[in-house]
Amino acid sequence: MRLTALDVENYRNIRAAHFEPGAELTVVCGDNGQGKTNLLEAVWLLTGSKSFRGAKDAELVREGEDFAAVTGELESGGAACRVRVAIAGERSGRRGRTAQKNGVDYGRATNLAGTFTAVVFEPGHLSLVKGSPEGRRKFVDAALCQLYPGYLAALRRYQRAMTQKNALLKQMGRGADEGLLDVFDDAMAAAGEEMMRRRGAYLAMLAPRAEALYDEISSGREALRVRYEATCAPGGLREALSEARRRDAAAGFCTAGPHREDVTITVDGREAKSFASQGQKRSAALSLKLAEAAVAADVLSEHPVMLLDDVLSELDEARQDYLLSRIAGRQTIVTACDPGLFERTNGRIYRMEAGVLTAL
């Protein structure tokens, strides 16, 4: 997948910008608050998803304007395609994001899913390493939902059964029908086994790639290990749920199952969350995101565009060099404050100043 050109209109602090990223690395430099992340966010909107910063659509429209638009020229498998996403502002009376593909109305922007594939890394993703298991489960689940449409259905079936079981567990001893617990366990086990099978297969693809990428980023100085902590062996979920019954009743909720699983991340054998340095955590989170893109490339037979926001801070020179010069064969757009990067990359360079983008 490649973005050959991007035109941005009235997007956040950008009145108008034309951007032509290179085939491999492009660096967007500029001081704080100039619009670098805004530009990356505009590229991301071409995927059809909402802002990766969690902003509401109306907030994306430049103050005082009625609408914003982002138009991208894409190249995928030798074919060119033009995608336009329009965002309605607060005053326009309309709502949300709508799309056009090759000049034809396409309805809601979410209909674009799959047209433009990208993986974004932003500072908040550090929580993949630092945060709770929930964030890691969400990361794996989101990747699986993109790769396998059936995964979301299994996830929803599991969650529905669990919600019902939790409600029942809260009424235990007050005349609740305990036989129903078996019914919910059956449903949770059926959907949960499918989730565990997919998660296991995904981690089997993701972990070796993330580990190899970390090895490259750290020039072999440290070793990353990524491991899926499954509830039980395949086929064992129904039994594991039965075994947890007493604990569930005491707790008043389901204490075992895929909703409690985790992915452990270690650097040199120690849990990264509590032992790794800031730069090591960042390197680990980055390796996971780059690995996510590599797995997507294998499954979809095309490498997604990499959008790396503020990834260079906290990395030492060798690690920055890896990102600035050794990312080959995949389009990568990096934002950075440090103008000294100019000399260290052969990638294309842009400067962002008060919403005005200039090629250097």
Ligand X SMILES: Nc1ncnc2c1ncn2[C@@H]1O[C@H](COP(=O)(O)OP(=O)(O)OP(=O)(O)O)[C@@H](O)[C@H]1O
Binding site for ligand X (CB under 6 A): 12-13, 30, 32-38, 59, 61-63, 310, 337, 352
* Nearer Cβ to ligand X (33/235): 33
Please choose, out of 35-43, 104-112, 271-279, 318-326, the segment that lies near Mg ion by the rule CB under 5 A: 35-43
- Least Å distance between CB 156 and ligand X? 34
* Nearer Cβ to Mg ion (37/146): 37
- Least Å distance between CB 35 and Mg ion? 8
- Least Å distance between CB 42 and ligand X? 10
Q: Is 38 in the site for Mg ion (CB under 5 A)?
A: no
* Nearer Cβ to ligand X (36/165): 36
245 CB-contact burial (10 Å; exposed 0-12 / middle 13-18 / buried 19+): middle
Among the listed residues 37, 117, 280, 331, the single contact to Mg ion using CB under 5 A: 37
E strands present in the chain: 2-11, 14-19, 25-29, 67-76, 79-88, 97-101, 104-108, 118-121, 224-229, 262-267, 270-271, 305-308, 332-336, 348-353, 356-359
* Nearer Cβ to Mg ion (37/345): 37
* Nearer Cβ to Mg ion (26/37): 37
- State which of positions 208-237 bind Mg ion (CB under 5 A): none
**CA–CA gap between residue 185 and residue 190 (Å, rounded):** 8
- Least Å distance between CB 239 and Mg ion? 49
What residue number has its CB nearest to Mg ion?
37
Nearest to residue 266, comparing CAs of 201, 216, 217, 214?
A: 214
- Least Å distance between CB 197 and ligand X? 40
**Sheet of 67-76: strands edge to edge?**
14-19, 2-11, 67-76, 79-88, 97-101, 104-108
* Nearer Cβ to Mg ion (1/60): 60
Q: Is 51 in the site for Mg ion (CB under 5 A)?
A: no
**CA–CA gap between residue 313 and residue 336 (Å, rounded):** 8
Q: How far is CA 155 from CA 113, 162, 214, in A?
A: 19, 11, 30
**CA–CA gap between residue 126 and residue 123 (Å, rounded):** 6
8 A C-beta contact, residue 289 and residue 125 = yes
- Least Å distance between CB 298 and ligand X? 31
Interacting residues with Mg ion (CB under 5 A): 37
